[in-house]
Amino acid sequence: MRLLKLLAVFAAFSLPAGLVRAETLTVALHPVADEKAVFATVESISVVPARGRIGGTVAQLNVREGDRVTAGQAIATIGDEKLVLQMKSLDAQIEALQAQANQAQIDFTRIEGLVERGTLPRVKLDEARTALNVAENGLRARIAERAVVNQQLSEGQVLAPSDGRVLKKLVAVGSVVLPGDAVVTVAQQHFKLRLRVPERHARFLKSGDKIRVDGAELGGEASKWGVIDLVYPQLEEGRVIADAAVEGLGEYFVGDRLRVWISGGIRPAFVIPASYVKTRFGIDYVQLRRADGTVEVPVQRGRELPTPALPDGLEILSGIRTGDQLVRP
């Protein structure tokens, strides 16, 4: 008998405290967010048009719907035959003025030598210098005019205004465009979710609230969390509009609809760790501490409510009440 008592004392000191003394939890109501499912649309932060800077005919179109573009990338080429003809005319004028400038330089050099030897008066040298300056200035003016036309030709390249994807082509090869006409529209790659929430939930919606995107909407991935960064002050068709930023949305079609969960207010609920619930034959049980021992009672399981303080939080809909002492099984 004495040996048995010694073995019991040794076992009590050697076993972990959790096995000797069962962990208990006092049931209490906790405020939780009442989540509501709404639909959100994937939209770009901004959709900007790529415009032509000159008028003319679209000679080349390098992109199609869905293509990725980077800022400054050549999207299309606009040609203007008048500019080409004007360029050829200026080239011919420059050649003629270059020949005149060369001849004026030769005349000035020859007259300068004759004036130094006293054969010609100095007034002839001044006339030759003036003719040389006129020829050189005329040549420089035509070269500058040609540079202006060349710049206009280079502005025939339609450049992408920002990084993104081409949403729609507005012209085709051979189309006639005017200066400032849009050639394609480009959606910036940074996506946001635009929520349309019924107005009865408008008073609960505010900037900084978190939203949750279902994993099923993300192709079977884990649920993602986002933050509402803008709530528009005007209702449209009985709905309040809000924008939410979600990291790592991935590749989506602009206009794609996703189901998200938002906070529709605060309500009290019984939230306990999932480890206190034991399931047997499809029925959930918890152990309650009574004055005469512990007893198992069936409960109705709700949805999971993980929080930073309780990562395995589980809502209990019925079967327990405030003040009950739960024992971890």
**Residue 83, Cβ density class (10 Å: 0-12 exposed, 13-18 middle, ≥19 buried):** middle
Distance between CA atoms of residues 32 and 254, nearest Å: 33
DSSP β-bridge partners for residue 297: 286
Q: Which amino acid would we find at residue 57?
A: T
For 180-194, 211-225, 265-279, 302-316, which range has the lowest pLDDT when averaged over its residues? 211-225
pLDDT at 134 exceeding the cut of 50: yes
CATH, range 81-154:
1.10.287
Give me 233's structure tokens. 């002050």
The domain at 47-79+156-188 falls in which architecture? Answer: Beta Barrel (2.40)
For the stretch 298-304, contacts whose Cβ atoms lie closer than 8 Å and that sit 24 or more positions apart, written own/partner, are: 301/277, 302/269, 304/274
**Residue 120, Cβ density class (10 Å: 0-12 exposed, 13-18 middle, ≥19 buried):** middle
The domain at 20-31+268-327 falls in which architecture? Answer: Beta Barrel (2.40)
| Domain chopping of the chain, boundaries | 20-31+268-327, 35-45+189-265, 47-79+156-188, 81-154
Distance between CA atoms of residues 94 and 26, nearest Å: 96
Distance between CA atoms of residues 258 and 147, nearest Å: 53
pLDDT single digits (tens) 248-300: 665 556 777 888 888 777 788 888 988 899 998 989 999 998 888 888 899 99
Q: Does 2.40.30.170 match the CATH number of domain 35-45+189-265?
A: yes
pLDDT single digits (tens) 187-201: 877 778 888 888 877
Task: For the chain, give the mean pLDDT.
Answer: 80
Distance between CA atoms of residues 119 and 132, nearest Å: 21
Q: pTM of the entire structure? A: 0.50
Predicted confidence at residue 216, as pLDDT, reads: 55
In order of 87, 126, 154, 243, the CA distances from 140 in angstroms are 15, 21, 21, 57
pLDDT at 204 exceeding the cut of 70: yes
Q: Which amino acid would we find at residue 289?
A: R
Give me 277's structure tokens. 């619930």
